[in-house]
Structure 1
Amino acid sequence: MVKMSRNFFNNGTKFMMDFKECIVLHKDQQNVVVEMIEYKQQKSYSINELLVAFDEERLVFKDPNNRFPTVRSNNIPEEDEQLKTKLDVLAPVIQGYFKNINLDKYLKELEVEKGIKVSRASFYNWKKTWERYGDSRFLLNKKSGPNKRRTEEEVLETLKHIMDENLYNGPDIPYLWIYREYKKSIKLVNEMRGVNDPINIRSFQTIWRIIKEKRDIYKQQKAKEGHVAAKLQRDGAKSVAEKPTRPLERVEIDWTPTDLLLVDPHTLKRKKAWLIYAIDVFSGNPLGFYISFDNPDSHAVKQCLLHCFLPKVYLKRLYPDVENEWTAYGIPTEVVIDNAKVNDSYELERVFQIFGISPIYPEVAAGHKKGTVERGQKTFNDIVHTLKGTTFSNIFERKQYDSDGEACITLQAFYYIAHFIFVDIISHNLSHSRIGGTPHQIWESGISEHPNLLALPFSKKDIRITLCGGSERRKIQSKGILLSRGWYQSPELMVLRSRLKQEGNEDSDVVVRFDFTDVRKVFVENPYDFSFIDAGLDPNKRRILRNKVVCKHCLVEVESSTIHDMNYCKCGRVAVDGGKNYLGRTGDVSDYFERSILEKLK
């Protein structure tokens, strides 16, 4: 059985919840009994209560080996190569057929066919690490090994450095030019080593033979044509003819323009939005989606994957009128994704590597090989045709309908409608023609047979940082970090600024990551230990021109003009206060549409 992430609410699992350390004593289908270790008290929680705490970042799993906080978000190229090798070795474990192989025979074939020599002990150590964490970054070897012989290693290392710098950049480089660079490098090394210990300069024929043996054809083609074309050349177009036998075995992702004009809340212009949609092939159940006015790119695909990976416990809080539950989430074994330039991205390749996902890129013009998601997109757009502002699927259906004039749905409202469609209409009502039953029923049946598929990462923050689509570089200023939404601030951020200033690095940029679907908080990378610092949006660092909301329940606009001017909506669920001094709100953020106008301070 394939296990991606390694945290379950099983007996003995430890986690921190609301700053209390807990250990699981007992678990049944719906409830978990834990002991609060410090107080020696037992308490029972429903599974949903724990998932909500995880979603709100109040619950973080504990790593018994204390490796979780030290794992970096980014790797150097040498580490990426190390991970690629180990993931190749662990393919039977990750893809679920380890029990069907003869390990000694498999390791021998690896050595003969790929030149990868691995002992049984190393294999089982890597296997144990993967099964514990489900994250390839934990496979990195942090221990320094013994020193190797210098002479031959220095020749190969010099040559590898030259090849990395010149052979994998795209343009064709004559091997004779590489040989000249090699001779220059060896001469420089010999000047440093002295006359008694020189390195012999090898002939062109010898160096040419080494290059042919050591060059990475995949990396060469990847630099010229992109990793999608390189993978197709190396692996061939993978067949997707075999039907999956369980949930999360194969997921298809694709995007399509929605047949609907939406109102952009910032410009009030009518625009078409893009739907990025992921569907579980086994059950036909929607797994996740992302909607944006921007053309799809790797960031949009990552946002869709983030929605796929996490439990949808927000549903009743944000969209209370959606009747049913959306229980589908998890990390898939395979992802079938379009062979398009958008997906030719290091960011996506790295996400697949971290989580041990096998991407499948069908050949060009092979839409039938991801037919499940394309049928799902058609179903979605057929329902959209009933909404105001629809553009229909063609001009013959549209006739004289004024799509632009009728458009009145905002992007936020369309997210609400999309949840209705995916949960109440598709997941719980459509019948799966091949298996029978609704997608939700088939999913639940499959999960009951494979309960360990629904595992969680150590924390929501960790997976958001890995998958969130937004990434910028910024300087930490006295007001905090400035992004388009405003200033982001926290005490920990100011501590980092003080340290950078003390060490003379106050003008250096730091990496800032953020989730496009929730910009109330950003994550700033600490360059000293590669951890991430939370920073929250500070509304006081923007000038308030208008302080106004629209209640989602009674659709009444509510505005505050002066500092003590608190006004309620018609139904009483929402109130605003603060005028142009601060944004005061009552009610939950899910109860209203924000209509305030803010001006960035310089």
Structure 2
Amino acid sequence: MRRFSFRRGLRFLRQQRAWLVVRRLTDGSIQLEAEDGELWNVREADVIRQCAIGELVVDLENSPDCAPPVLISRDLSSYPEPLQARALRRQMYLQRLRAKGPLVFTAKALTPLIREVAAEIGDRTPPSPVSIYRWNYRYSVGSSVTDLVDHRDRLGRRRRWSPEIQEIVTMAIDTILLHKQRHPRKAVCDKVVHQVTQINRARPPENQVTAPSRATLYRYMACLEDYELTAGRHGKAVADRHYRMVLGTQKAERLLERVEIDHTPLNVLVFCTKAKLPLGKPWLTLAIDKYSRMIVGFYIGFHTPSAYSVLSCLAQAILPKEDLLKLYPDITTRWPARGFFEVLVCDNGMELHASALAMACEDFGVQLQFCPAMTPEYKGAVERVLKTINHDLIHRLPGTVFSNVTERCEYDSENLACISFDTLLHVVTKWIVEIYNQTPHRGIGMPPAKKWEMGERERILEYPAEPAQVRVILAHCTERRVFHYGVEVNGLRYNNADLQLLRRRHGEDLRVTVKYHEDDVGYIHVFDPDHKAYFEVQAIDQGYAAGLRLIQHELIRAKLRKENEKPEALAALLAKKHELQDLIHTAAHSRKMATRKRKAVMKGVDSASAHKPKSIGSRRPKTTPATPLPPSAGGPVPQFKSVRRDHDGGESA
């Protein structure tokens, strides 16, 4: 809803007349002034009543955003030095002439006195009596030396454009110069000349209009208000941000009252020591305490900023740093930042509105505050330190890509990249602990480490009772089924006796909640549904997974898949597959093999003997009819079968 307040310069419209608020009188009424100078004293209640019934209309569009400043006359130092010298010379003449007695402004009386003063001060070109009269008249008003200064700053060329030319120039500026396509100023000149030419074609020679010169148009455009120019060519949001007004700063009265967090891409290429491949440009998430300017935590990852980046940074900010500094023996300075804070200030990105971040802040008892969109000034402390770390540290590392292509020039970032991820962590940690935190900060007048030490004396810090719970809260959550080999997360298997005990207790279809960490895939946390708590499960292949980051693990897996997909590897694999298919086809269509197996079954011979080779030239004797048994023997009468010889030397009935 639109609103107004009675401030100087507020504009009202009443019966097609404009009234401006001039001042508030001693009796509490408001004095308004019309355009013609008429004054109107009215009480606030009457103004509000007339606005309600429509007699007065508040013109907010043409009212200033703030009260116009109270202007104070300029002093002598604001003028150019030549004008200062001339004014002082005139003052010296007047003072010395007045010291000789009352001035009589006649040529006969002043001329001898002027020559005496000129001889005293060594002036070879004394002024005339008329000049002395004019100087004295101006000096007598306020007895100020500034009254004797020539107003030569008001001199200059005056435009003698007709209203018609002014309209053409204004239209050309509005449609071409103040356009989002950002046309050059030369296009404005061409447009003006074209419009004037079109007008002159339809007019007689005596009514022709003269187009302004290119130099005149350039001077006119140079006098345009820069805010309007930026708003027209780049947009109002850009102009408001560029010309924003800073009237104060966010202040923190105590330690860890306000922590600001933000992200920035680090302008350096990083490679993986295990995969021997570049990881790309990492993202830095950094948190800083507003009171002490101490960097309380950071996180470096290779994915776009997300809730997990913020949570990982918060975990390092809350927990003590002793275990982290043990990894780098060359860092001998303490990093005392630790403990819970009151307010967390972050961007207004959609990824930061995730439920995981909100739930973690609820668990920590931290108030989450989002800055308005496109307003980096709301967290200026962290914005400034992100720029500092890129310019003071990252741009000095081999493999830096600088801030843009122009700054990089011919620097071969990819071939010169020799910073591993572990080295980058070491370098950033050392820079934060031993350089930034120990350097005097201009905003607080002392190093952040000293300011932190002073803040610790005035506030009792709070720490997590279960530090391991912090890492569990901030980890990625998923669900997996438990097998005899454990659970599989990101292509790695995790198993131990506690996990198998759950499987024996709940059956083979058991699915458990798993928490895994990006900074170390060597272990996970599994939720025990019986004890309602998490327990740690390590990876089976600890030689590979211990201390390995998830981004490195994914890069190694991608490299293996790529190697297996090489053309020569695929061609060899396809050749082996074709050989196997040919072998199967030959065996399936062998008539000789099929015939031997069929004979062996019919004759009652095992398949092994059917495969034995026959001796060359061997023949079986013809079968002779057996002597029939007498019927009294009780045996069956045998049936005689004809025997034929196969082509391959065998016999068949």
Question: With structure 1 as the length reference, what TM-score do the two structures score?
Answer: 0.48
Which structure features the higher share of strand residues?
Answer: 1
Which structure features the higher share of helix residues?
Answer: 2
Asked which structure has the greater RCO (Cα within 8 Å, sep 6+), the reply is: 1
